[in-house]
Structure formats: C-alpha cells, structure tokens
Structure 1
Amino acid sequence: MTGRDFEHRKNWVRERLHLLGECFAVAIHAYAVMSNHLHIVLQFNATVSAAWSDEETASHWIRLFPPREDSDSARALKRQALLADPGRLALVRTRLGSLSWFMRCLAEPIARRANREDHCTGRFWEGRFRCQLLCDERAVLAAMAYVDLNPIRAGVVDTLDATAHTSASERIDLVRHGLPPAELLRPVAGTLPASLSISTADYLQILDWTGRALAPGKRGRIAEGAPAILAVIDRDARRWAMRVSSYRGGWARAAGGAQDLIDLAARIGQRWLQGIRLAWRLS
C-alpha cells in the first residue's frame, strides 16, 4: 500500500465522459466510477453523426483532438485542413458514431494522465472493455439501476444521496438545483435526444427501493413497499429486483426479452445465448 489517495482520478473520468458526450453521437444514460472499475450505459446512433455537416463534424473532432498549440489560430488551421479533406471527414464521422472509438477516447487520455502523475509508462487499464447489448427500455433501466447502485452494493456508502461519481448523484444534484422531478428521464450527457419514458423522480424512487431490496440483510435497507411505477415497468417488484441483480452474471452478451435474445443468437449464428433461460423466467 502506498498510502496515496487517488480519489481525484474519478473526477478525471467523470469530466472526460461529459466531454465525450458533447462530441460523439451518444447518449450517456448512467455511469459509476469505482475505485478499480467503471460502468457506463450508452446509446449510440451512427446515423446521427453521419448526418452532421462538415462544420459540425470538424468542431466535434477538434474538440476531442485539439492542436498541440491550443490557440485560436492553430484550431482554425486544423479545421481548415480537415474541411479540405472529404475522405478524412468521412472517416471522422464514422468514428464519432463508434463505441470502440468512444472507449478509446475515454481510456487513452486517462491512462496517459495517470502515468504522468505516477512518473511511469505502460498499461494503466487492465484490458479491453466488455460490452452488453440492451434490447429494450426495461433492460436499459435495469442496467442503469445496477450501475447507479454500485457504490451501495459495494458498501462504499449506505444511502443513495451519499453516492458520488455516479449518474444518480448528478441527477440528485440537478433536482436539488431546480430540475423539475416530473421531467422525463434524460441522459446525463450526450448529443442524442434520448429521453426514457419515466420521470426523473420515478427513477430515483426505483433506485432507492432497489438499493434496499438488494441488500435485505442490512438494517434500514429492508424493502417494504415498491413504488407504484414498478408495476408499469415489470410484472412485480421481485422480478424487477432479480432483473437488476442478474447483471452480476445472469446476463451475458445481451439483456432483454427471451425472443430478443433468441433473435440475436440467430443473427450471430449461435444456437443459444446465456441469459435466454433467465429471460423466460422473467417474462
């Protein structure tokens, strides 16, 4: 143990996520920055970045990759060079709608910054990211709850309003500073207009209940009554709790309805996918 505190690096990740959200064709629905890992719930739409004008595309790209001499004149020269190269612009549009490029633009700057701080070189992240397809809005909401509740499940904090470096903490702060709780649940960052069908207040209620339901052995977290909105999202509260907790290992390449997983298996040439049996149980 070095005795050093690396908590400030969580802010690096959060700030970088917001920057990427302004540049990519993405909606960031949820995130949780933990001590040794990161969870993000993302929605991409490559057709959006493909439709951006040359000027929009150049602006997003230069925001991501500013010139070394970050001055107005240097940015203007880089913009001019990019606008004069249609082939390069086409490639940039593709990258701005790509999950792989999003993760690359997240991981590499954080790694370089951490290595400079540590006066070292070499690998910072353990390995390549793993991703999971979310087939419907219910799967998205369950994944968001799983992600936002990471600090509570890990025992870092006891209550939802004590969390930090999560999308839940951002939403709570927004409500405290005047966001109408009845407003539809929007991404915490991103260029896509991708609101979900429940309100911010309903989502925070669901989070509070789910956090207590998934920690039944700890005082003060016994779930008494589920919020009414859960009856709209799932058949019953216990199914919902199982759906969320299954992100620990029950779901694999995808999460959603049984038929969605069966169709996905057929598209990728497999006879079966882990999670289909679970999906039938939850149907």
Structure 2
Amino acid sequence: MTSARRVLIDAETTPFYHVINRCVRRAYLCGEDKLTGKSFEHRRGWIVDKVKALSAIFCIDICAYAVMNNHYHLVLKIDLNKAQSLSHRDVISRWQQLFHGNEVATKYMKGEGLIEGELILLDGLIAKWQERLSSISWFMRCLNEEIARKANLEDECKGAFWEGRFKSQALLDEQALLACMMYVDLNPIRAGIADSLQTSDFTSVQERIDELNVERNIQEKTLKKADNKAESITPTPLSPLAEFDGSTHQTTQSGIPFHLSDYLQLIDWTGRAIRHDKKGFIDSNRPKLLCELGISSDSWLISAKEFRRQYSGVSGRWDAMCEFKRKHQNGKWCKGKASSKALHPYP
C-alpha cells in the first residue's frame, strides 16, 4: 500500500529529496523509437527547461538531474527560509505564473481597496499558496502535467503518459545526499550511453562543467582586456542550479554542503572506476571527500551503482532512517541497514 506524500516528504526533517518518474508508453519519454525510427530526443530539453523554470518560481533548488530515455531523476532541496520570507506580493506573483490565481488577489496586486471579507479570503489564499510554493508534490504536478500534455499532443493520443505518481527518497545527511547526487549524475555513464562526464548530455554535472569552463574563459578574456586597458567583459548569468557552499551544518547551509572542486574530483574518480575502459583510476588514491567521510572505495562504488535499489523511501544514518520511518510511517519496515552502515562507518 502506498503512503501519502505528507508522510514521505517532510522539509523540517530534511530539505533534500531524490525524485524519479517513469514514462508508461513504449514510445519512450526521449530517445529514439527503434520500431518507427522516430526521434524523441527533443523531449529531454522539455524536461530540463521546465524544471529550471519551475525552480525559479518555487522555493525549490535543483541539486542534480539526469534525463534518460524513459525516466528522469531529480535531486531537489526545499528552501523553507526563502518560502517563509516571501512577501504577499511575491507569493501572488509567483503563483500567478503557474495558475490564474484569484480575482481578489488580482485586485490586491492592482492596488485596489479590499473589504474585510476579501482581506480574510486573501490571507487564506496567500497562506495556502505560500505552502504550495515549497511543496515538491506541487512542483512535480506542474512539471509532469505540462510534459504529458505536450507529449500527448505530439503523439496524437490521449491517456496516461506517466507510469504513476513520482517516487521519492528522503536524503537525511551529507553522505546520503552525496551518494544520491553521484548516482544521478553518473546515470548515462553507468547505462553505457556516455563515456565521459562532458558527453553526459542532459545531466547537471555536464552543465556544471560547461558553466565552469565558461567562467574560466570569461576570467581569461577579462584579464586580457584589462592588460590592454579595455573594458572588461560582463559575465552572462548562469542557469539556476543550486550552488556548492561547502558548509557541513544544516543550519548554515545555503546550498549543497560540499565544495564543487571536491565533488568534481570524486565524480571523475567514480566514473572512471565504473567504466573499466577509462584510464586514470587508481584504487589507492581515494578522493578527498571519501577520506573526510571515512567511506571505503568498495562501499562507495557499490553505492554509486546501486543507490536507488539499496534503500526504500529514505537514506541516511541507520538510526535516523528508523526514526524517520517511525515518525512518518508508523514504524514501517526500513530497508538498507547494511548499505547505510557502509556509508556511515563512524558511530
């Protein structure tokens, strides 16, 4: 029996969640239909563009993503502080980008006077919309409905496009977040679709590497311009991916609690280990993050390949996983004890 979203997603317990959705039809979400030869590759762009657009409206950050042939993965962070700091106008403006809103809210935005009953109604609407703007369920609803409509229109058919409601995993700590992001970013390499991070199309790690290269090119050109006493180049805005802030305590986190350089070192090392045909993997030379977290190479590589199947609904330290199940799912059986202890060797 499935559980309600309100017991699977609790932003107060952890802001980080891994979500997955799969296409129901043989024609695939993306890729190429071998029977008809028709390509659906452009639908990958639909997913990525819509996820970024929704992230700019919702108080939800994108930590990682990967769009595969018949499913996609997202690692999301709920920003409760941002949601709670939104003004009434911010809430209404954001919500009206998603739905028509309400006549009373429209009057308020125009600066028209409201009677007492309308003010009471407006307060209720704003409270409801503010809560929804930090809801992964509403985020996924807006994403999946639009993609399904566009795909059905293109395929000239009706009916369900998605296999069912999205699946979610709560990520309770840094080890779980790191392992999950690695699992998501390495999806194309693990599936044999790509042979390097740079060629892993429609993944967050490819985008981060491209952005890093753009930043370096801009800095080099700016320095050259400065040497020639010319005007410096204004950097172009980067896409809305969550930033790596390096902080290790949840109370001080403004983004992802690792440094980008350490993450890229680890994912390159892991990718080379997964693909045995890649040169440069040295088992004894563990990346900095694994040494700091005390995770063995073997345990890490198993997690990078099997993370989705190692757990059910929640990942983290074993006692925290059991507490999450007890609190939110009435002590329902918890899967992944051995995997959890392998990623959390310290008591």
Is it true that 1:19 corresponds to 2:68 in the alignment? no
Q: TM-score, structure 2 length as denominator?
A: 0.70
Structure-2 residue corresponding to 1:220: 278
Within a 5 Å distance, the mapping from 1:224-263 to structure 2 comes to 224=282, 225-263=285-323
For 1:243, the aligned partner's letter is S
Structure-1 residue corresponding to 2:24: none
Structure-2 residue corresponding to 1:34: 68
Structure-2 residue corresponding to 1:72: none
Is it true that 1:100 corresponds to 2:160 in the alignment? no
For 1:219, the aligned partner's letter is D
Structure-1 residue corresponding to 2:336: 275
How many equivalent residue pairs? Answer: 268
After the TM superposition, which of the residue ranges 20-29 and 194-203 deviates more from structure 2?
Answer: 194-203
Q: CA deviation at 1:78?
A: 9.3
- Tell whether the 8 Å contact from 1:257 to 1:279 is kept in structure 2 after alignment: yes
Q: TM-score, structure 1 length as denominator?
A: 0.85
After the TM superposition, which of the residue ranges 127-136 and 243-252 deviates more from structure 2?
Answer: 243-252
- Tell whether the 8 Å contact from 1:25 to 1:46 is kept in structure 2 after alignment: yes
For 2:281, the aligned partner's letter is A
**Secondary structure of the structure 1 residue equivalent to 2:300:** helix
Q: Unaligned stretches of 5+ in structure 1?
A: 68-74, 181-185
Q: CA deviation at 1:144?
A: 0.4
Q: CA deviation at 1:45?
A: 3.6
**Secondary structure of the structure 2 residue equivalent to 1:174:** helix
For 1:247, the aligned partner's letter is F
Q: CA deviation at 1:126?
A: 1.3
Q: CA deviation at 1:88?
A: 1.7
- Tell whether the 8 Å contact from 2:185 to 2:203 is kept in structure 1 after alignment: yes
**Secondary structure of the structure 2 residue equivalent to 1:64:** coil
Q: 1:33–1:20: structure 2 CA closer, same or farther, 3 Å change rule?
A: same
After the TM superposition, which of the residue ranges 248-257 and 196-205 deviates more from structure 2?
Answer: 196-205
Structure-2 residue corresponding to 1:161: 198
Q: CA deviation at 1:44?
A: 1.2
Q: CA deviation at 1:28?
A: 1.0
- Tell whether the 8 Å contact from 2:242 to 2:256 is kept in structure 1 after alignment: no
Give CA-to-partner distance per residue, 1:167-204, whole Å, 9 cap, x none.
11110111010169xxxxx97159xx732332212211
Q: CA deviation at 1:4?
A: 1.1
Identical amino acids, percent of aligned pairs: 37
RMSD: 2.8
Q: Unaligned stretches of 5+ in structure 2?
A: 1-34, 218-238, 244-252
- Tell whether the 8 Å contact from 1:27 to 1:43 is kept in structure 2 after alignment: yes
Within a 5 Å distance, the mapping from 1:51-62 to structure 2 comes to 51-62=85-96
Aligned counterparts of 1:276 and 1:99: Cα–Cα separation in 2: 27
- Tell whether the 8 Å contact from 2:44 to 2:67 is kept in structure 1 after alignment: yes
